[in-house]
Structure 1
Amino acid sequence: MSTASAVAIAVVFVWLGMVLAISFLEAPLKFRAPNVTLAIGLGIGRIVFRALNIVETCWAAILVASLILGLPGAAAGSAVMVAVIALAAQVIAVRPRLARRSDAVLAGLDAPRSLGHYVYIALEVVKTIALLVAGIALLISA
């Protein structure tokens, strides 16, 4: 196994673990904690997801570079590209809309429920599946 392949495998599974832990565990559970208001939950969520997206962008860059150096099979390369595109869509298209809505809610306005949350969640599911497929494909080809 090459160093590039080892790095790619590690990054895929660390990234996958972060997405599963934050998006599918922490995010929904924080609103169930006692005394957590919508404003507090939104404030925490904004900070956590901004940090997650920054780290994910770093993982994506490292992963793409390691795959270019290691030239993985088509399945792994395609799955990684799907994950990277899903992340880009979240950061560029969806998060700004969600930020505008949370700004309005935090300012005390009665902002309508956002369809953007469902789009973000759908992209998280796509990204999760893509990372899992990439990780398995990389392990098989290693």
Structure 2
Amino acid sequence: MTAAAGVQIAAVFVWLGMVAAISFLEAPLKFRAPGITVPLGVGIGRLVFRALNIVEAVLWLVILAALLLRLADASVAQIVLVVAVGVDLGLGALLVRPLMDRKVLAEGAASGVPRTVLHGGYIGLEVVKLGLLAALGVVLLAA
């Protein structure tokens, strides 16, 4: 295994763990903490997901750079999965999350407000991203 492949594998699994921990543990659990109101929880979530998206972009660039360094040895599956996870990240971070932020800033985050299609779309993108990262990790380990 080359150093680039090792870095790529490490970045994939660090990213996978971050998405699982933040999107599927921290995000829903924060609203159950004593004293957390919906507006406070939404405010925390906006900060956490903005930071997560920045770290994700850095990890994707690391994965992409490692892929480019070993492009001659990369499989079609590896290339497709790296591109797909980048597209998923881009849709969530550059399209859906900013739209959700604008909605919250315009309408506020009052309790009892139902989740929107945007929220469901973001969750869907996170589920897909988790699957893509897991598949990429398996494909890289098998190479």
Q: TM-score, length-normalised on structure 1?
A: 0.92
Q: Percent identity?
A: 49
Q: Equivalent residues in 2 for 1:53-132 (5 A)?
A: 53-71=53-71, 72-106=74-108, 113-132=115-134
Cα distance in 1 for partners of 2:78, 2:8 equals: 10
Quick check: 1:16–1:132 contact (8 Å CA) kept in 2?
Answer: yes
Unmatched 5+ stretches in structure 1: none
Moved over 6 A (4+): none
Aligned to 2:5: 5
Residues 140/113 of structure 1: CA separation in 2 closer, same or farther (3 Å cut):
closer
Aligned to 1:52: 52
Q: How much has 1:104 moved relative to structure 2? A: 3.0
Quick check: 1:8–1:63 contact (8 Å CA) kept in 2?
Answer: yes
Q: How much has 1:13 moved relative to structure 2? A: 0.2
Aligned to 2:29: 29
Aligned to 1:14: 14
Q: How much has 1:91 moved relative to structure 2? A: 1.3
1:105-136 deviation line (CA, Å, top 9, x unaligned): 4476x976421010001111111100000000
Residues 11/107 of structure 1: CA separation in 2 closer, same or farther (3 Å cut):
closer
Quick check: 1:101–1:114 contact (8 Å CA) kept in 2?
Answer: no
SS at match of 1:12: helix
Cα distance in 2 for partners of 1:10, 1:92 equals: 25
Counterpart residue identity of residue 35, structure 2: N
Cα distance in 1 for partners of 2:92, 2:140 equals: 25
Q: How many residues of Structure 1 are paired with residues of Structure 2 in the alignment? A: 140
SS at match of 2:32: coil
Unmatched 5+ stretches in structure 2: none
